[in-house]
Amino acid sequence: MQYIVKIQYARGPETPLAEFKYVDDAKIFIEQKLRADAALNVKATYLLCEFDEVIDKIGPNPMLASSNQGQTQGDQGQGQGKSVSFRPTPFNTTPRPPGSPPNWMREDKDDDDEKDR
């Protein structure tokens, strides 16, 4: 018998990927593809067809994705689950013409000190 593995993304047609003589080989191929998709965060559905008739429809497995994420998080070490976000203010990135001082506001503290004397 001829078994065909097809891939279908969320919004797209079915695309044939491979042909197999045995069902077990096709299922092993689909499992490998699902692991690779989970690592790349790709959501696709695999169709196992016998000639043109769909036998099995295999989608992304949430357990498989969480097990891969657990392995990558374990590689990072414990306690590093939180990510640090950097959000610069627009004032730090404003362009300045050459020769302008870093602080363009004049401080009147010197004038106040002279008046007090």
Higher pLDDT, 80 or 86: 86
**What would the pLDDT profile of 81-117 be if each residue is shown by its tens digit?**
566 676 666 665 667 778 777 665 666 665 555 555 5
Contacts of 46 (CB under 8 A, 6+ apart): 5, 6, 7, 8, 17, 30, 33, 34, 57, 58, 59
The pTM of this model reads: 0.52
Instruction: Give residue-wise pLDDT tens across range 4-26.
Output: 999 998 888 889 999 999 999 99
Token pair, residue 74, equals 């374990």
